[in-house]
Chain A
């Protein structure tokens, strides 16, 4: 199965968050180093992805306490 999109941001510990995603042609979304901001974005791409929904929910709850994507 070929990946449709595969990108990795340049990693810089000081200035940017870093994560990778792989979106499969069957709609599955695989992630690595998933940040709260990316989880919030990906939940909209595949609403049937239960694990992503759980992580996005936790991210949202924690964001309400002040978490930002970048640290």
Chain B
């Protein structure tokens, strides 16, 4: 019985790597008219055209290291951060790297897989692929999946503001989707991150991800945005994804360009944190640390 289960498990893992390899060419070809995110630029990144994210065809990596700051069930994780992002959050903690397509080192799947393997052998539980927003470098991210050890527990850390097609190409490749739900309304998303139609796209991604894999929804509590952002997010999750794990992060600090917005010039107060936890309790959310 155990042997059969192992065989099935091994078969699934081999399928993941094979599936990833199959998808690399089509994901790469998508850069000819890039519509990987809802910005829907349609630029030819293979011909050095740049859309809103400014990313070219070649991915770069600005960080690859073991980290313990994420959700407890995922750490220690070997976190691999791609540069470039489709959003422009004023408070981005990695804005210097995420917004600049030339930061970091050129992507090398073999070298990164070797580092990840070494990390796993010394005790890391997971490998996390993140950004920026890794979806904008989808073909290289998938190429990395194909190069990683079969048994690794893979985490896709995303801002969830992505299009349907890349979601389909990511199906079955990751064990966990760790997805941000940053804004509770489109007005805050437009003002603080410069993007439109935010809630619809993110909610579509979250519902899809909840069916496709294990999902953890992460919300970074922002000062002054408890009632306009966190409350409607909590309400929606309670209604649509009531048993999904939710990670409420209260460690906001006024990074990058946050000081351009008066309410973001400080950290979250203890009163705001208590109020946010009260909301989570009222909606009976499945909070994790």
A residues with a Cβ closer than 8 A to B are 1, 3, 11, 13-14, 17-20, 22, 24, 28, 30-36, 39, 51, 54-56, 58-59, 62-63, 65-71
State which of A1, A20, A32, A54 has its C-beta within 8 Å of the C-beta of B266: A1
B residues with a Cβ closer than 8 A to A are 61-69, 72, 75-76, 78-79, 93-94, 97, 104-105, 115, 118-119, 121-124, 251-253, 266-267, 289
With a cutoff of 8 Å between Cβ atoms, the chain A residues found around residue B62 in the complex are: 11, 13
**Known contacts A34-B69, A51-B289, A65-B122, A11 near B63 by CB under 8 Å:** yes
State which of A1, A14, A34, A65 has its C-beta within 8 Å of the C-beta of B68: A34
**Known contacts A13-B62, A13-B105, A65-B122, A58 near B72 by CB under 8 Å:** yes
Task: Provide the bound-state CA to CA distance between A39 and B68, in Å.
Answer: 8
State which of A3, A24, A55, A66 has its C-beta within 8 Å of the C-beta of B122: A66
Are B119 and A31 in contact, CB atoms less than 8 angstroms apart? no
Task: Provide the bound-state CA to CA distance between A70 and B123, in Å.
Answer: 13
Task: Provide the bound-state CA to CA distance between A37 and B21, in Å.
Answer: 36
State which of A34, A51, A71 has its C-beta within 8 Å of the C-beta of B64: A71
Task: Provide the bound-state CA to CA distance between A58 and B64, in Å.
Answer: 19
With a cutoff of 8 Å between Cβ atoms, the chain A residues found around residue B251 in the complex are: 30-32
Are A55 and B75 in contact, CB atoms less than 8 angstroms apart? yes
State which of A1, A55, A67 has its C-beta within 8 Å of the C-beta of B124: A67
> Can you name 24 A-B residue pairings with CB atoms under 8 Å?
A13-B62, A13-B64, A18-B63, A28-B267, A31-B251, A32-B251, A33-B65, A33-B79, A34-B67, A34-B69, A36-B66, A36-B68, A36-B76, A51-B289, A55-B72, A59-B76, A62-B76, A62-B122, A65-B123, A66-B123, A68-B122, A69-B66, A70-B65, A71-B66
| Nearest CB in chain B: distance from A48 CB, A | 14
Task: Provide the bound-state CA to CA distance between A40 and B28, in Å.
Answer: 41
Are B68 and A71 in contact, CB atoms less than 8 angstroms apart? no
